[in-house]
Structure 1
Amino acid sequence: MKHALSLALAALVLSGCASHKPEDFKGTWINQHAIDVASKGTSLRKALSENGPVLEWRIDVDQQKASLSNGFEAADGHLVADKNDWQVTFDAGQRESLSMDGQELVQAPGKLGGKQVFERSSAPSNTPLGGAFEKALYQGYLGGNWKIVEGPGQGNYAQFRDDGMVTGLPGPDRYALCLAGDCATMSGENDSLWLEREQRGSPWIFKRDGKTLEIFQAVNRAQPNEMPQLAAGERRWVLEKQ
């Protein structure tokens, strides 16, 4: 009798852990683990490739719709319940499986990489798809004060804001980190960002090592009729996070 009771209690506990209401899945979910890894001061490209490629999910259970972003492209899928999981089917027939593990959204291994874990975002509901992840990444990866220890403005402090504004760095007033797409293809294994002022700018190569950030001019090594292949040229700035 005791054995039967123990089994019944165990089954109850397990079913309680696995059961989630549909509304538990609703909202915007970001790949916070990729941000945390990158924020330790490592290569952004490496952190995203090893923990992505999906950076954000937006789930609308009422409309049976799930959208994802990889930082460059977005895709909308049809959401269908499957026991305690949800299946997302895209136009090309590709399927991805989503489930809840505690307070985290888990994407099962599939065509879009291995297991990926997402945390709920508190970004406003009108935030463009991919914007919640980008804002959190900018805060985690480049947030805070950066002292310019070499290059124009030496001795000053630069700040990279989560809205894409940069202050204290002589010249540019806006920036954007390259997450995926053509900019990633052109920069190869290098990390790159876009710096501009008054809507005129250019790509730069950067290297993050702990609290040190180096920014280099981007040199195109491709032939005129080829896709640009950007490499690090002359170093323009060295910044240290305070």
Structure 2
Amino acid sequence: MRNCLRKCLTGGIVLSAMLYAGISFAADAQNGPTPYPKDDKDWPGKGVIRKFGWMDDNRKWFWTQREKEQGAVVFVGDSLTGGWKDIGKAFPGMKVANRGIGGDVSRGVLFRFQEDVLDLSPRAIVITVGTNDLTAAGKTDDYASNIADILAMVEKKNPDLPVVLCTTPPSANPKAPVKLSERQALNAGIVKAAEGRKNVAICDLYAVMANADGTPKGEYFGEDKLHMVKAGYDKWTETIKPVFEKLGIK
């Protein structure tokens, strides 16, 4: 009887220790962002994949900011977003998180969307990506599919979560050429993605930053005719604020 009791007690202690260790391991298992897939077939979505070393560094930094940026309005995208260094000053009184990464494409945003955006329990989301899909000769149908997948993730998280989709602004960099017809098709797909969704609205950056022939208005862009200068970000702010008001984003 004593041996039986001793064995039962010992077994219970061992089991409890194993369970505790398992719980602790699970809690401590992830202390950084999920690494980018090494094999193309392991990426979610369709189309172009772009991966550069600084992307890992960016995501590791984002991870360190997760706690203090809970409940923010999250801007996510490529270098147009990432380069908005004083984004917080553009929206005084609003908690804002910048999740832009230079060189990113729609498939990259789809991959990191859960950890970099949704895990922040955002108040709202602003998505601006697509220029690099175009410069890498990505198919607009693949882009549209990736945006649809991103919006499906939002709907699963919270069907009422406000989302702003920004059209891709014009560019004219000879090292990163884009056919006007392709940009127009991609932007048309962005507008279509918002149709029938009460929580999704369009911020039409292309309309306010392009000349009649589709070239970029010089005052908004740097010498590379690709990245924005302060006047460009000021115009972006001016253009998106009425959209925020429409969606009740404060």
TM range (shorter): under 0.3
More helix per residue: 2
